[in-house]
């Protein structure tokens, strides 16, 4: 899957919505699902997993990045994030950084944005010695 090829957004939206059904969100009641397309054409997914110690909550994008590495690694070229009704959700600040690491500035987000739009001037692997 090269970045020149069309992104199967319908498939990503559907996979994100499906993943949101697995969310563990008893505290916020906000189910979140994320789906990403990898540079070799896989679709990886994640859902949010909350914790009674609220700050330990794992966002859906955290699970997605785990799934990326668990299933063979590579780079994310596009990501869709939805709530439990399938409505688009914008990634939080920490998750923008996670997506930057896994896909870089050119990774597309929710059809209309890129990670570079969401996290301009990002700090990343290239800034480390
Ligand atoms: N959440 C995500 O899963 N991803 C985001 O990018 C934003 C927030 C989750 C975390 C928490 O379980 C719930 O949404 C409310 O913040």
Could you tell me the distance, in angstroms and rounded to a whole number, from the CA of residue 4 to the centre of ligand 1? 30
Tell me how far the alpha carbon of residue 84 is from its chain's centroid. Answer: 15
* Ligand 1 environment, Cβ below 6 A: 25, 28, 30, 32, 48, 50, 57, 59-61, 91-92, 95
Instruction: Convert the pLDDT of each residue in 11-45 to its tens digit.
Output: 999 999 999 999 999 999 999 999 999 999 999 99
Tens digits of residue pLDDT in 119-129: 999 999 999 99
| Separation of CA 59 and ligand 1 centre (Å) | 5
pLDDT digits (tens, 9 = 90+) for 79-105: 999 999 999 999 999 999 999 999 999
Q: Say if residues 101 and 73 touch (Cβ distance below 8 Å).
A: no
Could you give the C-alpha distances from 6 to 2, 22, 39, 48, 113, in angstroms and in order? 9, 28, 12, 28, 15
């Amino acid at each position: 899957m090269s970045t020149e090829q069309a992104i199967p957004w319908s498939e990503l939206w559907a996979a994100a919505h499906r993943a949101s059904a697995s969310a563990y969100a008893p505290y916020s009641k906000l189910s979140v699902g994320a789906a990403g397309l990898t540079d070799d054409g896989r679709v990886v997914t994640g859902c949010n997993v909350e914790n009674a110690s609220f700050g330990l909550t794992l966002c859906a994008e955290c699970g997605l990045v785990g799934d990326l590495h668990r299933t063979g690694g590579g780079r994310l070229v596009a990501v869709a994030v939805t709530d439990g009704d399938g409505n688009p959700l914008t990634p939080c600040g920490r998750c923008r950084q996670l997506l930057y690491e896994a896909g870089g500035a050119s990774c597309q987000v929710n059809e209309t944005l890129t990670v570079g739009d969401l996290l301009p001037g990002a700090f990343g692997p290239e800034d480390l010695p």
